Chains A and B, each alone.
Chain A
């Protein structure tokens, strides 16, 4: 019971950040326990190659089920394959806390008749039992939970465990897809009009609030995001989503997404407690607001007081300049 199973989410035929981070987290746990890392990947043609690349991040055994019909995420099939793989003797089973991982993990846990810890930010193996920490109340509190029976099933939050190259044995084997009953079929993926990173995945977030005074002014934030590079994305406060200026997918806070990027810009956001809960674990927070007494300055590492319509173009220009200079 020292081995750890990681579910590798394959997107567009690639083992991306979500997959590499979950394997890295699994490696850390299995090294403490003296076991190895097994990976299960289910997807369309090409999944084996994507899975194999995870050997570099510590995967010892990579179990792959691939077929043409699995190019789109099929929850019933994937649940069946992963639950069968997880029925082995594992100390822990890890999923990414992505849209797919948060859908799939509970299905597998339900199938195995076990509890699941969501959005885990720390894992300890002290004293033989697996103990985890996770945010509750959108980050207003941190819970410590202990698994009293194995396997410890969890989803792990993005940007917390990192993706570290540590070669494992990397042996790929093919496993049965089986004949699970397909109760619900995913028939299409419809890409959003805008091609941008999700707030839960980005390492830099530029969030706008009511201080922007209207959806028309968002180009100021879009320009800053573009200057910050391809790991940056747009976020929004609840007020502007409720006003219809921005889509809900961008909302950061207790009724939106809870995020932990390296750098978070809060622009024209006063800092309601439900918003602070969703972003206060960002590593570095920059607040730009006209009101020097706004609560957002209480959590910000760096504050700029003033008119965001004057500050933003200058900030974008300076960011562009320093990034060009390297």
Chain B
């Protein structure tokens, strides 16, 4: 079984966001970039299935700048077999990214396309569904359980108050959620091997966007709060503040 895993280079979740001088981008100074955490579940799932089957390929694809090559190397170090970087400046419009990915995926042979459920920078949570629409494939999102038997799959997706069970045939698009598996850390052997694995770079032109990013702003700093008191004896003071000042109780 051949699996394509779409990944994104994102700022680490410990990043303090500072807006750059252009007013619509993150100031990259001091920011640590990582494989999008949700994409690690997708990578782990693909690698485990290849290991269990003893055959098949795992291909990591990313849309991004030159710097995303480093992120793809991390995917190769985890255990992907090869990688493709679709070189472009990127876009906050998920549809534009979905089109670029769908064009590349359509030219390849695959049984499964995996994504993380969302990237933790734009938080769009839309590219997997759009790629599935563009390719006319079955799609299950926010998946925490996946069983594949031959060409049939059963997925469990997280919804409010429980799970939906989804059945479909391969090839298909699945987006992964925390809980699906426990992603591995790349070991030294993996990191060394990754240096020799194929990483293809292609220059691509993104389609025109219909959704323009005007500005990015840091949210206003929270209004200064106050310490109501210490210990259980301060509880009545808290209760009256919530009732009389904040009027939320």
Q: Which residues of A line the B interface, CB within 8 A?
A: 72-73, 75-76, 79, 98-100, 102-103, 105-107, 109-111, 113-119, 131, 135-149, 183-192, 195-198, 200-201, 204, 241, 247-249, 251, 253-256, 258, 262-263, 272-274, 280-281, 283-286, 292, 297-307, 310-311, 313-315, 318-319, 322-323
Q: B225 interface residue, CB < 8 Å from A? A: yes
Task: Report B208-222 residues with CB < 8 Å from chain A CB.
Answer: 209-219, 222
> Which chain B residue has the least Cβ–Cβ distance from A133?
B217
* Distance (whole angstroms) from the CB of B219 to the closest CB of chain A: 6
Q: Are A99 and B142 in contact (CB under 8 A)?
A: yes
List A contacts of B94 (CB < 8 A).
106, 115-116, 118
Q: Whose C-beta in chain B lies nearest to the C-beta of A261? A: B248
Cα distance A187–B168 in the bound complex, in angstroms: 10
The 8 A CB mask of B104-144 against A (1 = contact, 0 = none) is 00000000000000001111111111111110111111101
Q: What residues on B are CB-neighbors of A136 within 8 Å?
A: 92, 121-123, 216
Q: Is the CB of B132 within 8 A of A107?
A: yes
Query: Which of A107, A119, A144, A297 makes the CB contact (< 8 A) with B123?
Result: A119
Smallest Cβ-Cβ distance to B137: which chain A residue: A183
Q: Say whether B225 contacts A110, CB under 8 Å.
A: no
Q: Does B161 contact A (CB under 8 A)?
A: yes
Q: Closest Cβ of chain A: how far from B140's Cβ, in Å?
A: 6
Selected interface stretch from B79-87, B195-203, B226-234: B226-234
Q: Does B13 contact A (CB under 8 A)?
A: yes
Which residue of A142, A148, A183 is within 8 Å of B217 (Cβ)? Answer: A142
Chain B residues 1-35 with CB under 8 Å of chain A are 11, 13-17, 19, 26
A105 to B122, CA, bound (A): 16
B14 touches A273 (CB 8 A): yes
Q: B29-46: which have CB < 8 Å to A?
A: 37-38
28 A–B pairs (Cβ distance < 8 Å), ordered by A = A72-B164, A99-B158, A102-B125, A109-B126, A110-B130, A110-B133, A118-B94, A118-B126, A137-B11, A143-B92, A143-B215, A146-B214, A186-B166, A187-B166, A188-B165, A191-B162, A197-B161, A256-B178, A273-B16, A283-B248, A301-B225, A306-B230, A306-B234, A311-B231, A314-B232, A314-B235, A318-B235, A323-B249
Question: Which residues of chain A have C-beta atoms less than 8 A from B235's C-beta?
Answer: 304, 311, 314-315, 318
CB of B148 within 8 Å of the partner chain: no
Contacts A186-B165, A190-B162, A248-B179 known; A147 to B211 CB distance under 8 Å?
Answer: yes
Q: How many chain B residues touch the partner (CB < 8 A)?
A: 89
Interchain nearest-CB distance for A21 vs B (Å): 14
A99 CA to B123 CA, complexed, in Å = 14
Bound complex: CA A304 to CA B242 (Å): 13
8 A-B pairs with the lowest CB-CB distances in the bound complex, closest first: A110-B133, A115-B211, A106-B126, A110-B130, A183-B138, A184-B168, A198-B160, A140-B17
Cβ A318 vs Cβ B239 within 8 A: yes
CA distance A315 to B98 in the complex (A): 49
The CA of A307 and the CA of B132, in the complex, are separated in Å by 51
- Return the chain B residue nearest A306 by Cβ: B231
Contact between chains at B236 and A107 (CB < 8 Å): no
CB–CB A198/B161 < 8 A: yes
B210 touches A110 (CB 8 A): no
B96 within 8 Å of A by Cβ?
Answer: yes
Counting chain A CB atoms within 10 Å of each CB, the highest count among B124, B129, B223 belongs to B129
Residues of B within 8 A of A272 (CB): 14
Could you say which residues of chain B place their CB within 8 Å of the CB of A258? 123
Q: Tell yes or no: B246 within 8 A of A by CB.
A: yes
A72 surroundings in chain B (CB, below 8 A): 164
- Assembly CA distance A126 to B129 (angstroms): 31
> A147-B212, A186-B164, A315-B232 given. 10 additional CB < 8 A pairs?
A99-B157, A99-B158, A106-B127, A114-B211, A116-B95, A189-B165, A255-B37, A274-B13, A283-B246, A319-B249
The minimal Cβ–Cβ distance linking A205 to chain B, given in whole angstroms, is: 12
Residue from the list A138, A149, A195, A286 in contact with B242, Cβ < 8 A: A286
Distance, CA A313 to CA B37, complexed state (A) = 37
Whether B227 lies near A184 (C-beta < 8 A) is no
Residues on A with C-beta less than 8 A from B123 are: 118-119, 135-138, 258
A4 to B232, CA, bound (A): 51
Question: Are A105's CB and B126's CB within 8 A?
Answer: yes
**Is B222 touching A280 in the complex (CB atoms < 8 A)?**
yes
Chain B residues, Cβ within 8 Å of A100: 159
Q: A73 contacts which chain B residues (CB < 8 A)?
A: 164
**CB <8 Å contact, A141 and B210:** no
Most buried by B among A138, A145, A185, A273: A145
Closest residue of chain B to A303 (Cβ to Cβ) is B227
Specify which of A103, A137, A304 is in contact with B230 (CB 8 Å cutoff): A304
Complex Cα gap A205–B168 (Å): 36
| Contact present for A141 and B16 (CB under 8 Å) | no
How far, in Å, is B190 (CB) from chain A's closest CB? Answer: 23
* A317, chain B: closest CB distance, angstroms: 8
Is there contact, CB below 8 Å, between A141 and B219? yes
Which of A241, A303, A307 counts the most chain B CB atoms within 10 A?
A: A303
In this complex, which of B137, B165, B231, B248 has the most chain A Cβ atoms within 10 angstroms of its Cβ?
B248
B15 contacts A302, CB within 8 Å?
A: no
Of residues 141 to 176 in B, which have CB atoms within 8 Å of A's CB atoms?
141-142, 144, 156-169, 172
